[in-house]
């Protein structure tokens, strides 16, 4: 008896990975992107985000920089795990070309420069944008990325 193979059909608009710890934002963006025809995955766990990035090869990643982390039994609410993720993705030959948008409440020139220096494609200050503006930026970046590949 043959095994049945199921092929996952993806949207032609793209697969978004949202690395974010704020559930309300995940819900808002999940609904907005899916309503507009995108596939959407999310996690607040950096290790899981790295696995998803390598195995699912999203078209783009929206990355929060500040994601709480447990350290020696204490939760560090200001842990900048997003930078760890960004560094790991850009060092991995399988994932280095995946565009990453830093999507954060950090809004200093130093944070922007650090994100850019580490390989972020763009930087969005969360409080200054709407889901529509984020979607427009995501669509443009995915389109540019696909043009480069063809």
Alpha-carbon distance of 64 to 26, in angstroms, equals 11
> Can you give the pLDDT at residue 73?
84
Q: Under CATH, which number does the domain 15-144 receive?
A: 3.40.50.2300
- Helix and strand numbers, DSSP H then E, in the chain: 5, 7
What does DSSP assign to residue 44?
Answer: S
pLDDT in tens, 92-139: 999 999 999 999 998 889 999 999 999 999 999 998 899 999 999 999
Answer whether 0.85 is exceeded by the pTM: yes
Alpha-carbon distance of 95 to 135, in angstroms, equals 22
> Can you give the pLDDT at residue 74?
83
User: Where in the chain are the domains?
Assistant: 15-144
Mean pLDDT of 5-24: 80
């Amino acid at each position: 008896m043959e095994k049945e193979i199921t092929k996952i059909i993806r949207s032609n608009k793209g697969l978004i990975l949202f690395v974010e710890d704020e559930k309300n934002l995940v819900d808002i963006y999940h609904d907005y992107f899916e309503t507009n025809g995108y596939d959407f995955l999310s996690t607040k766990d950096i290790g899981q985000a790295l696995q998803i990035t390598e195995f699912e090869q999203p078209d783009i990643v929206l990355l929060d920089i500040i994601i709480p982390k447990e350290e020696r039994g204490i939760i560090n609410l200001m842990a900048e795990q997003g930078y760890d993720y960004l560094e790991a993705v850009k060092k991995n030959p399988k994932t280095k070309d995946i565009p990453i948008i830093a999507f954060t409440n950090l809004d200093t020139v130093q944070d922007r420069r650090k994100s850019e220096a580490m390989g972020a494609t763009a930087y969005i200050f969360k409080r200054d944008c709407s889901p529509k503006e984020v979607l427009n930026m995501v669509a443009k970046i995915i389109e540019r990325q696909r043009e480069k590949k063809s």
